[in-house]
Structure 1
Amino acid sequence: MAQYAQVPFLLPGMHTALQDSVKWNSEWEKLTNQFKHVSPAQFVQSSALQLALESDGMDTSMLQYQGFLGSLVALELALAPDTVRYLSGGLQSKWTEADPAVREKHILIGLSNACSIAKNLHDARIYCGRDFQLSRLRANGEIVLEWLTSLVMPANGRKYSDLLDAPNYIPDPVWDAYAEQQKQSGASDSEKLALGTILVLRSKLIFHVVQYTLKSFMGEDLPTYNVPKFSKKRNPQSTVLQKSDIEAFTKMMLGKSGAKAYAKENKAAWQDRQKDRKEHCTFVGCMKANTGTEKYPRCKKCWENMKREVVYCSTQCQVADWKSNHKQVCGKPLSFDSVSKPKLTHARTPEEMAPIHATEADAPLTVPSTPTTVWRSYI
C-alpha cells in the first residue's frame, strides 16, 4: 500500500508523451518494471480505499464508470470497420513481415498518441505492465494483431451483438483470475468499482494504442477526440481530503521544493488540457458541445438532491434522455449494479438524430463511418 501511494508522484508527465516519446516511454517502462510485483489485489484495494473516501459516496465515480463502459463499447463499434478492412486487406503479413524497427516506430506513435487523449487513459498504463514493453511488441508482431482480432472475434463465446450489454475486454490471465475471484468474494461496491474501472481503462487504452499504431503504419490520418471540459460545479467536494491535506502529503513524499515544482508543472499541464475543452449535452444521442454562446440548464432534481451536474442543450434532449436512461437514476443514490450497463456514447449524425425515438433502445444502432465519437467520460 505504501509503495502504491507513491504512484501519482512517479508517473511520467502526460504532456511529455508527444514532446519526447522515447524518453517518456523509457520512464514508463522503468516505472512498470518497478511495480511488476504489485498484484491486482493491491492495485484494487488501494483504489477502493480512495473511492470509499469520496464525500459524495462515489456518485461521480460511478457515473463516470458507466460512461467508461459506454465509451469503450462505442470505441469498439467505431473500430470494427477498420478492423475488417485491415484483416481482409493483408495487414497481417505486412505487419509481421515489417522490420522490427519499423514496428517499433509505429508502436511508439500509437503509445504516445493514445496516452495523450486523456489523463485517466495515460495513468491507466500502470495497470498494463508488460503489455507495452516496446522490445516485446517490436519483436513479436502477433501481439498487436491478437489485440486487433479480439475486436471482431470476442472471447468466451460472446457474439458481436453482445456489445450492447457489455464491452469486450482484452484478456489477461492475472487480471481475469482476480476478477473471477472477486465475483466469489462478496466484494463491496468500492472494490467492484475499482476493479471495473481498471479493466475498462486497460482495454480502452490498448484498443486506442492498436488504433493509432495501425493508422500510422498504414499511412492514414490519426484520429482526434473531443474531451469534455471538467466542471468544478459537478462535485464541489469530491473527496474528504482538503487541499491542505493533499499539499501536506505531497511535501511529505517529495520535500518542500519538489512539491512546489510538482504542483506548478501539474497545474500548467491541467490548464493546457482544459483550454480547448467544452461542456457537452448529456443525452448520448446528441452530445452537442456548448460553444459558450448559451447556457445549458441542468437537471434540477439531480443537482438539488445529489449535487450531480447533468446538463442538456434542449428540452427535447432532456425528455429523450429521461425516457431512455435518466429516469432510473434521477436524483437518486447510485449503486455499482445500477451503473453496470453501458450508456452508449457514440455521437450520431443529424440524420440519425431525427426523429428522436421514444426510447434509446428503439433507435437504430449504427457505426459512424468516420471517428465522430465524443468521449464524455474522459478527464
Structure 2
Amino acid sequence: MPPVYLELPKMQQALSHSEEWNAQWERLGNSGVLTPQFCLVDLVGSRDPSRYDMLAREYATLLTFTLAIQRKIGGLPGNNLESKWLESTPSIRKSHVLVALSEVCSAARNIHDARRFAGDILTLDNLGNDGRVFIDLLKAIMPRTPPESLTTPTYIPNPAWDSFWASKEQSNMTQMEKWGLSYAQILRTELIYLVVLYTSLSFLGKERPKIPVTHPRGGGDASNDPQRLQFQKENRRQLCGPSLAKEVTREDKAAAKERQRQRCAYCTHCSRPEQDDEKFPHCGKCWNTLQRDVPYCSRECQTADYKPLHKAICGKALDLDTAVSFAMNGITGA
C-alpha cells in the first residue's frame, strides 16, 4: 500500500498543553479525514509485512493487557461511583475525563495514536455532558463473568468501522489487512478501557496505575523506512513551511528519544521490569530464527516458562490466530 501522511496532535503536549491538545484531536475527529480506509492504509503502510510474526505477537500482547484493564474496571466501587458521578456537574466530569485522556495518551505512542479509532466515544462533551453516558459505558465494560475466566474483551461498537470490517470480510482480505483491522479494534478497546479506568480513579481521588511500556528488540515498525521518512519530510515542509517543519521534526525526535529512554523489557514469565543497569537475556532460538524478543530475568524463569507455554511456539512463526490462542493459554493456564 502507498504511504499516507497526516500530522497528528503532538503526544508530548498531552500533559503540558492538555486542553489545546485535546481540542486538536476533537477537531481532527470531526473533520471526516480519519475514515477506516485511511487509517487502515496508514497502519499497514507503516509496518513491515516480513515481520508478521512480531505483529501477531504484538496484537496478542495488547489483547492480554486489555483484558487486565477490564479486570481492574471490574474492581471499581460501582454504586458509590455512579451516584457521585451523576450528582456532579458537567464541568467537573469533563475535568476528570481530560485528566484521563492526557495521562493515558502520554504513556505510549500506539495508545496516543489510537484516538484515531475512538473519536466517536472519547470527547469531553460525550463523556461529560450527560453523566449517564459515562456510567452506561462503564457498565458495558464491567465483566459479566468471574475475572479469571475473561478471554474476550467487550468491544464498543463503531458503525463506520464495523461496516468497513464487514465489507472487507466479503472481499479477499490480505493477511496484513486482517492484522490492521484487528490491531485498530484492540487499540480502540484498550484506549477506551484505560480512559474509563483513569477517569473513575481520578474522580474518586485515587492513584492511577502506571502503564507498562515495553521495549522489544527487533520490531516490525517500518516507519523509519527511508522512503517513508522522505515522504513525511516533503509533506511536512509543504504543510508547515521549511523553517517550522525543521522545528517540528526536532521536537518529535527529542520526544521520541525521551520515550525510548523510559521504555524497558519485562520478564516473559514473572513480568519483572528490567532495571537501568540490566539487560535481560532472551530466548536464543526465537531471536536467531525470527528476531522475536522473548526476554527472561533469570534462567529459573526461562525454565519455568518453557514446558507449559513457550515450548509450543519456540522458534516457530506465528499467525494472528495462533498468537491469540497462545496468549489465552497463558491467561487461563491451559
TM-score (ref. length: structure 2): 0.88
SS at match of 1:92: helix
Match of residue 348 from structure 1: none
2:327 alignment partner, SS class: coil
In structure 1, distance between residues paired with 2:246 and 2:45: 26
**What residue number does 1:372 align with?**
none
Deviation, 1:38, is 4.2
Specify the SS of the correspondent of 1:144: helix
Structure-1 residue corresponding to 2:212: 226
After superposing the two structures, state which structure 1 stretch, 201-210 or 144-153, moved more. Answer: 144-153
Q: CA deviation at 1:72?
A: 0.5
Identify the residue that residue 286 of structure 2 maps to in structure 1: 302
From 206, 217, 222, the counterpart of 1:239: 222
2:139 match: 149
SS of aligned partner of 1:14: coil
**4+ aligned runs moved over 6 Å, structure 1:** none
Shift of 1:65: 0.7
Q: Which has the higher helix share?
A: 2
Give per-residue Cα distances to partners, 1:101-158, cap 9 Å, x unaligned. Answer: 111111111111121121111110011123122223221212211221122256xxxx
- Tell me whether 1:48 sits opposite 2:44 in the alignment: yes
Counterpart for residue 24 of structure 2: 27
The one-character-per-residue Cα deviations of 1:9-55 (angstroms, maximum 9, x if unpaired) are x2111111111111111111111122x2543244224423443xx16
Post-superposition shift, 1:184? 4.4
Task: Sort the Cα spacing of 1:56 and 1:258 in 2 relative to 1 into closer, same or farther, 3 A.
Answer: farther
Q: Which deviates more, 65-74 or 159-168?
A: 159-168
Contact 2:85 2:131 in 1 (8 A): yes
Are 2:299 and 1:315 equivalent residues in the alignment?
A: yes
Check the 8 A contact 2:289/2:315 in 1, yes or no.
yes
Instruction: Report the Cα distance in structure 2 between the residues aligned to 1:136 and 1:238, rounded to whole angstroms.
Output: 33
Other-structure match for 1:78: 72
| Number of equivalenced pairs | 330
- Of residues 234, 238, 262, the one that matches 1:252 is 234
CA distance in structure 2 between the partners assigned to 1:160 and 1:187 by the alignment: 35
The amino acid that maps onto 1:28 is W
Q: Which amino acid in structure 2 is aligned with residue 220 of structure 1?
A: K
* One-letter amino acid matched to 1:88: N
Contact kept, 8 Å, 1:281 with 1:311, in 2: the verdict is yes
2:196 maps to 1:210: yes
Identical amino acids, percent of aligned pairs? 33
Q: How does 1:1-379 map to 2 (within 5 A)?
A: 5-7=4-6, 10-34=7-31, 36=32, 38-51=34-47, 54=48, 56-82=50-76, 85=77, 87-89=78-80, 91-152=81-142, 159=145, 164-228=150-214, 230-231=215-216, 233-235=217-219, 238-239=221-222, 242-243=225-226, 245-255=227-237, 256-283=242-269, 286-341=270-325, 343=327, 361-362=332-333
Looking at structure 2, the residues matched to 80 and 300 of structure 1 have their Cα atoms a distance apart, in angstroms, of 39
Residue 44 of structure 1 aligns to which amino acid in structure 2? L
CA contact (8 A) 2:266 2:273 kept: yes
* Cα distance per residue 1:235-264 (max 9 Å; x no partner): 4x7539633x24421221012434422321
Q: Mind listing any 5+ residue stretches in structure 2 that lack a counterpart?
A: none
Q: Secondary structure at the match of 1:215?
A: helix
Mapped partners of 2:35, 2:276: distance in 1:
45
Measure how far apart 1:92 and its partner are: 2.1
1:57 aligned counterpart, secondary structure:
helix
Q: Secondary structure at the match of 2:288?
A: helix
SS in 1 for 2:120: helix
Unpaired segments of 5 or more residues in structure 1? 346-358, 364-379
| Alignment root-mean-square deviation, CA | 2.8
The amino acid across from 1:278 in the alignment is: C
Moved more, 60-69 or 334-343: 334-343
Deviations 1:291-329 (A, max 9, x none): 244442211111111122221112222123223332232
